[in-house]
Structure 1
Amino acid sequence: MKVHSERINALQQRLRRRDLAAALLHLSRDIFYYTGTSQPGWLFVSPDDAHLFVRSGLVFARRQSSLPDDRVSLKSRLAEIVATCLGENTDGLHIGAELDVMTVPQYQQLGKVLRSARIVDLSSDILEQRKIKDAGEIATIEIAAQALDEGHRQAIKTWRAGMTELEASAIVEDGHRRAGHEGVYFVRQPDFTMGRGPLASGENRQQMSGVVFTISGCGLSAAVPAGASRRRLQPGDLVIVDIPICVQGYHGDQSRTYCLGQPTKKALDLHQSLRLVSDRLIADISPDMTSGDVFERACHHAENAGILDSFLKFSDGKMAHFVGHGVGLDLNEPPFLSRGGEEKIVAGMVLAIELHLCDAEAGMLKLEDMILVKDDGCHILTKTDRELILVPLNARN
C-alpha cells in the first residue's frame, strides 16, 4: 500500500536528519505500522532501503506486507541480518532502535552483532510520527468506536440485578468481540496487564489498584488485581465501564457510568457537571495548544462547573495529573495531556479525553471519549450516549 511506503519514506527522512546509518525495529506495532504485517522479526530501514526479516510466517508476511516480496525474507539470526544489510564493517555507524521496549538481553545481543557501532534510541521519532493519524487510521478507529458501542448496547439489554461484575463484563466483552474486537490490547510498556479492562460497581468504584492510575476495579484475584470482580450488582448501583478494544490493530477507548435502576439526584447532577466540563474542554481543544494547556483548561471548566474539589480526585485523596492521552496502535500513546505538558496538539491526532470525579456521597463517576483534532475544531468519535446511562431493573437475557 502507498501509505506504508510514505511512512517508511518519512522514517528515512528522520534517519537522514539524525545522521543514522539505519534503524533496526523489532516491536510488532511498529513493524505493522511501516509494513502492514505484524509477523515477528526485524525491520531494517536505511535512508535508501527497507527490508523485513521474519523468524517464521513468511507466507503470511509476504501476503500481508506492502513491501515487495524480495524485501521480505525468512531469516532469524540477528548476526546474519546485520551482515546482510550492513556488511562486516560497522565501525562509526549509528543505528537506531526502539530502546524504550528493548529488553537487556536484546540490547546486549544487538550490541554484540553491531560491534563498534553505536546504538541510539529512535523510539521518540517513531512515536512522534505515529501521533498524527491518516485517513485510513481514522476510519479504522471509527470502526473501533462503533464496536465499543455494541458492547455497551448489550449491557443495556442484558444487565440485571444479582449478576456479578464478571458476568456484566463478559456481556460487554461479548458485544465487543462479535463486533470485531480482536481480543487483545497493546500498551507500550513491559509486564502490563489490567485484565480485559476495568469494570467496577458500587463501592468497588472507589478501589484503585496500583496496576493503573485510574479506576481499576478489584479483579478476580491478586494475580491480576484489576477489572471485574465477583461482587453482585445491586439495584441503584453505579457501574463504571472502561473496557478497551482493538480492531484491525487500532484501539477504541471510552468510559461510561451506568446506574442499575434510578440514580440519586446527586449522582445525576454531578454527572451532568462532568459532561459539561468534557463538552467545554472538547470545544476548546485546537491545534497549537500544548498538552499542559488542555489540562489547565479542564481544571478551569471544572472550577466554573463547581466540581473542582472532587475533579480528578481519588478516594484516598490523591489526584490524577492528566486528562487524556493519544489512541492508536497502542491504547495509551503520546501525547499525554498532563499538568505542565509541553507536547503540541496537532490536527490529525486522536485523543481520549478521560475525566472523572470522586464525591464523598456519590462516589466515583467517569466519562471518557475519543476525539479527532481538526483545524476547525474537534469531532467526537465515540458513539455511546454520554449521559449517566440508566439500565432498567427489569432487563433480562
Structure 2
Amino acid sequence: MDNTANLGLRLPAGNDYADVADFNYNFEQLDAAMAAARAAEEYDGGTAYSVGDYCIRDGKLYKCVAGITTGEVWNAAHWAETNIDAEFKALYAALAGKAAVDHTHTAAQIGADPSGSAAAVQASLNAHTVRTDNPHGVTAGQIGAVSASSVRDIIAQQKWALLATYFTAGAFTFAVPTGYTKLGIYMVGGGGSGGSCYYYNTIAGASTGGASGYGKNVILDVTPGQQFSGIIGAGAAAVNGNSNGLTGGSTSFNGISVLGGSGGKYVLEYSVRNVAGSDGGQGSDACGITTKVDELNRRLFGGVQTESTVHAPSNSWGRVYLGGRSQSPRESQNLFDTSMVTLCAGGWGGYPSSTLCGQTMAPTDLGYKGGNGSGTYDNAPSNAESGVGPGSGGGGKFHGSTTFASCYSGAGAPGGIFIYGIRG
C-alpha cells in the first residue's frame, strides 16, 4: 500500500482488499487538514513546516509545498497561495464519482463467478473498482458533497453583519472595520429607464418599463483596515417623445462589476402586440406576471406586477408577448440576507384599445419598487414614475394628444452595494 505525498493518505494497490479503516483514516486526515487551514497562523521564520501545513502571510492563506526543517526567511518557492474555498473544491473533486465506503456488491454486479477461482474473482473485482462512471448511482449526499442550493444556504447561515450600504451614484471608499476578516458584497447595477410613446392621430401605442439592474454576490478574504474602492452605477435618465429607454450604469467593487438594467421599449401600433420587455436583474414586461420565488419559496424579485386596465388576460388587445429576461436565483438573490428583495422592474403604459392603461408596481417590504407605468391623453399629461430603491427600473410612458405634450418616462434608480462582514 502506498501513501499520498502531502497528507499521507492510504492508497490501496489494485490487488488490495478495500478496508473501511483505511477510508476512515483518510477522512480523518482530510478533516484535520481542513481544520488546520481554518486555524492557520501568521508565518513564523523560526518554525519548521511540513508539506501540507498552512500559514497566513500578508492576509493570504498559503499551503506548504516543500518541507522546511529548521525555519527560514519567507521563501515563496516553498509555498502555494490558496483559500478555504479552493481547499474545499479540491476535496470535493477528490471525492467526485466515488462510491460510499459501506457499499456492497453481488457477484453478478461485478461479473464474478462465485464458484470460480480466487484469481478470477479478484480479476473481476479489480476491473470493477477502477471504473469512474459511478455504476451504482452514488449521490452527492451519500459522500457528503453539497448541491448549489445547499451552498447558498450555507453562506446565508453564517453570521453576516451588515457593515455599510451605498446607494448614491458615484465613487466611494470602504475600510474594513477592526476584527473582520471576510466580506460579503451584494451589488446591484443602475436601473433602466422606461420607454416613451407619443401619438397624435388614431394609432395606439405602448411602452414597457425599464428593467432593474443585475445583482451579483462576491466574497472576499480581508484584513482589518484594508481599503476598497467602489462605484455605484447611475440610474438611467427618463426619455420622452417616441424613444426606447436607456440602460443603467454598471456598479463595481474592488474591480468586480455588475451591469445595469436595460431600458424599456416602445411601439406605435393599433393592436400593440409586438412591444418587447427589457432585460435585467428583473426583466420588465406587460403580462401582469407575479414575482418569482426560489426553491424554498423565498421571493426573488420585487414589484409584484398588476395591470390597472379593463383588459382581461385572455384579451389580445394591448398584451405584450415578449417579456424581458430575468436573472436566475443563483445570480440575483442576496445570499447574505435571503429575506431581502431588491430587484424591481418598472411597469408599462399604453393606449391599446380606446382605454388608457398603466401597470402598477407593488413595493417590497423595504419600500423598493419599480416605477408605475402611465397612460394619459389630451389635457391630462403627466410623467411615469421613477424607480425607488437600488437599481429599480422606471415606468413606461404613453401620451396621446392632438398637439405634442412633453411627457417623460420614469427614470431608473441608482444601483447599490450592501457590505456584510464576518469576524475572524
Please say whether Structure 1 and Structure 2 have the same fold, judged by a TM-score greater than 0.5. no
Larger Rg belongs to: 2
Q: RCO greater where, 1 or 2, for CA within 8 Å and sep 6 or more?
A: 2
User: TM (normalized to structure 1)?
Assistant: 0.30
- TM-score of the two chains, using structure 2 as the length reference: 0.28
Whose helix proportion is higher, 1 or 2?
Answer: 1
